[in-house]
Structure 1
Amino acid sequence: MAEQTIYHGPADFRVCPKAEVGRDVRFCACEKAQKARSAISRVSIRVISMRRRTKIMLTVIGAAIIWPVAQIGVIAAQAQYVSMGRAYCIEVDRDDRSLSYKPVDSLMEMNGFTMWAPFANFGGSGDHGSRQWTFHAVLVVDAGSSLELRNWSYWHQHFDRLTPDQAKATNLWRADCYPQADFVLALPLFAN
């Protein structure tokens, strides 16, 4: 049986029996070329998977850095929107386990890492031992005759309105901040 050489490129010689010239060239490729292609594809698959893992890790790290700072803008925009031009202020947890609030002193106090609602341990076991008694942040809006209280929700990404019963259940008897027009716009980036 006569053989025919098929040329596809500078390093791509395949020898096929003349009877099989019409068949797909992959079936008549020599073993050496096939092994080389297999080794190259294994290396390229490893490189691609390493690149993919690197991209995923960089995305996670980038999100961990950007998310807390982006929360400042989201909270500030929501406070301005919800207040509808009325005087307002924002309170956050005191961080001293007193289950009370303090006025926000800077924009950085509203980032995603520092604005959290701690759990208080009251003894006991299971779900009964640890309770969350404060909110991440409380928006206090001057509604004329009374104060409108709203809780910042990371899940909803806005301030949820609190009923008077909800406020009393979480020891929100009074506001510790004084509502002002455009409260967030007057805050410095960092506290003194």
Structure 2
Amino acid sequence: MTTKDIYSQSEHHMKRSIETLKENLMKIRTGRAHTGLLEHITVDYYGCPTPISQVAQLGLADARTITVQPWEKKMVAVVEKAIRNSDLGLNPATSGEVIRVPMPPLTEERRRDLTKVVRSEGEETKVAIRNLRRDANNKVAALVKEKGISEDDERRSNTEIQKLTDKYIGEVDKLIAEKEKEIMTV
């Protein structure tokens, strides 16, 4: 394994950490409706847990209402129950074959709680990125020990890995700031 391999492997894992953070932030509810809010909900489809987006069409009726239209008529009750039982605290209403999911407005206290959750998610991602940096630096140190690279190469590699870490930590900070702003906007 070369230092380039270690660097590219670390970069790949750091990108995955950022993607995971984006997915987790998408699940955190703001005052506005968006279909991504329901995408992690699974529905019992003929005995098999299936994502809601594979059994129904998700759409927006307006800024505060998500519409869910199951492709099969008998799935309406199942989908409605799955949304109601999710951890999102939503109360869907069925009218015919369309399920309407109104987004209740957030209170100031709830907004503050959500920003704490967002910061916590960001901190967990930062810790994961720092752990990836540590692992990469340990691999480089092992190469030095095996006489695979010189100590100068080790310092250069550690500097490059630190720059990569700083870049992704900055990206986490940016994502967290955007989400906090989105949550606090009334």
- Normalised by the length of structure 1, the TM-score is 0.27
Structure number with greater CO (CA < 8 Å, separation at least 6) is 2
The structure in which a higher percent of residues are strand is 1
Structure of greater Rg: 1
The structure in which a higher percent of residues are helix is 2
